[in-house]
Amino acid sequence: MKIAIPKERRPNETRVAASPETVKKLVALGCDVFVEKGAGVAASFTDTAFKDAGATIGKDAAATYKDAKAVLKVQKPIAGSKDDELKVLSKGTVVISIADPYRSEKELDAYAKAELTAFAMDFVPRITRAQSMDVLSSQSNLAGYKSVLDGAGVFNRAFPMMMTAAGTVAPAKVFVMGAGVAGLQAIATARRLGAVVSATDVRPASKEQVESLGAKFVAVEDDEFKQAETAGGYAKEMSDAYKAKQATLIAETIAKVDMVITTALIPGRPAPVLVTAEMVKSMKPGSVIVDLAVETGGNCELSVAGKVVEKDGVFIVGYNNVPGRLATDASSLYAKNVFNFFELLFDKEAKDLKIDWNDEIIKGTCVTHEGSIVHPALAHAEKKPVSKSETKALAESTSSSTKSTTAKRTPAKKAPAKKTTTKAVPKKAATKSGTKTEPKDEGNA
């Protein structure tokens, strides 16, 4: 069977969905792999490297997509513009990508109309068996690392303490908001650079993780906080009184630090505002804020997507697609995630697709199939704006947020069942987003 790996066409996307290493593995499975010319250039993967790995180089998108049974992408296919990728895809084609389903209503409708079987890698359940497919973790880990380097790039001081004959340079003070995958990596990176690091999170269990990395945990640790986690490991809604005390503490902390890194995302909703304009004004001149949530509205009230802006003497970094700023490593990790997922769909004996709809990973990841939008979270949820009180919390749990936050829509009308080996998707899909023993990801991918 033919697998297509096209060049990414969305703005700011430098990654590619395969590496020479994963192409070798796909070829070893018995697949014919077509990589579009120049698909890996931005990630430093040459056409020659792909060809040497066993791939055929497609001269353009049409040649790459033609007759492909599966398409591996980073970003979801473009629908309805001059770069429309759906017009060259056959009905029933399996498409694997990061789909951002909650904010992709029009695209999902188009995929359903085109009768594509689309899998959202950002919907992979956060269970132990799926760890090797977890793109949110692999990409957020890199984003957390890069966020510190991006902040250091505009910071006009040194990070570590330096003792010289001319005097002592004090270490930088870094405050990380959110102790998920990106936040923990940001803490570790800032510590390696010699900064004095503190961090906050709404989950009591995160305190131990933060302190294990040598950072100070910042929170109002009263009786309410100690009971602020469910049996499943997720944060509970806090009282208004607690939120007020926590907000005061955070404001006092931000005024004393040199750099703030924010990592909080709520799946399907705008990012919560954690740093207000007033807080920015309270910071010392030359301080830096790095907003990893800028593409979904931003955790800082003054951040601008794709730009570094200066407000009241404070530099606010809002780069788009931060993992893509480390394109080689981000592509390599993503490609491994995708390959591991693809193996679930592939029958090694028949050397063809064989989708087991009883597999909880497959059920939880499929968003469109046979002319319908099939994921229950997309069919029944409703978007809600983030309230003023909620903007003070770091809500990171996908499972808790999807109960009340999905798109306002009616699912596409289901087409009559076809007699194929993949004709029925179970009614309920696995949407659990985490386990108690794993750090929660903020969704930075």
| Mean pLDDT score, 53-64 | 96
Give the model confidence (pLDDT) of 159-192 as tens digits: 999 999 999 999 999 999 999 999 999 999 999 9
65 given a catalytic annotation: no
Q: How confident is the model at residue 413 (pLDDT cuts 50, 70, 90)?
A: very low
Predicted pLDDT of residue 237: 64
In the chain, which segments carry CATH 3.40.50.720? 2-123+326-373, 141-325
Cα distance from N-terminal residue to C-terminal residue, the chain: 29
Give the model confidence (pLDDT) of 232-282 as tens digits: 555 566 788 888 888 899 999 999 999 999 999 888 889 999 999 999 999
Predicted pLDDT of residue 379: 60
The average confidence (pLDDT) of the chain is: 86
- Element (DSSP H or E) covering residue 363: helix 360-365
137 given a catalytic annotation: yes
Coil, helix or strand at residue 44: coil
Predicted pLDDT of residue 282: 97
Choice among 97, 104, 137, 332 that is catalytic = 137
What is the fold of 2-123+326-373?
Rossmann fold (3.40.50)
| pLDDT of 402 higher than 90 | no
**Tokens 């697609």 sit at which residue?**
321
Choice among 100, 122, 134, 201 that is catalytic = 134
Give the model confidence (pLDDT) of 60-75 as tens digits: 999 999 999 999 999 9
Give the model confidence (pLDDT) of 197-216 as tens digits: 999 998 888 999 999 999 99
More confident residue, 135 or 391: 135
Q: What is the 3-state secondary structure (H, E, C) of 163-225?
A: EECCEEECCCEEEEECCCHHHHHHHHHHHHCCCEEEEECCCCCHHHHHHHCCCEECCCCCHHH
CA–CA gap between residue 224 and residue 18 (Å, rounded): 47
| pLDDT of 424 higher than 60 | no
Are β-strands 173-177 and 196-200 bridged in parallel, bridged antiparallel, or unpaired? parallel
For residue 85, give every residue at least 6 positions away whose Cβ sits within 8 Å of its Cβ, in sequence order, or none: 6, 9, 61, 65, 77, 78, 79
Predicted pLDDT of residue 225: 82
Percentage of the residues of the chain whose pLDDT score is greater than 70 = 83
Q: How far is CA 243 from CA 225, 247, 265, 367, 424, in A?
A: 10, 6, 18, 36, 46
Choice among 131, 132, 282, 372 that is catalytic = 131
Choice among 65, 234, 242, 319 that is catalytic = 234
Among 60, 38, 65, CA closest to 49: 38
CA–CA gap between residue 182 and residue 157 (Å, rounded): 24
83 given a catalytic annotation: no
Give the model confidence (pLDDT) of 342-375 as tens digits: 999 999 999 999 999 999 999 999 999 999 999 9
185 given a catalytic annotation: no
Q: What is the pTM of this model?
A: 0.84
Choice among 15, 126, 203, 269 that is catalytic = 126
Q: Which numeric CATH code is attached to 141-325? A: 3.40.50.720
Q: How many CA atoms lie within 13 A of 292 on its CB side?
A: 39
| 438 and 141 Cβ atoms separated by less than 8 Å | no
134 given a catalytic annotation: yes
| Mean pLDDT score, 328-332 | 98
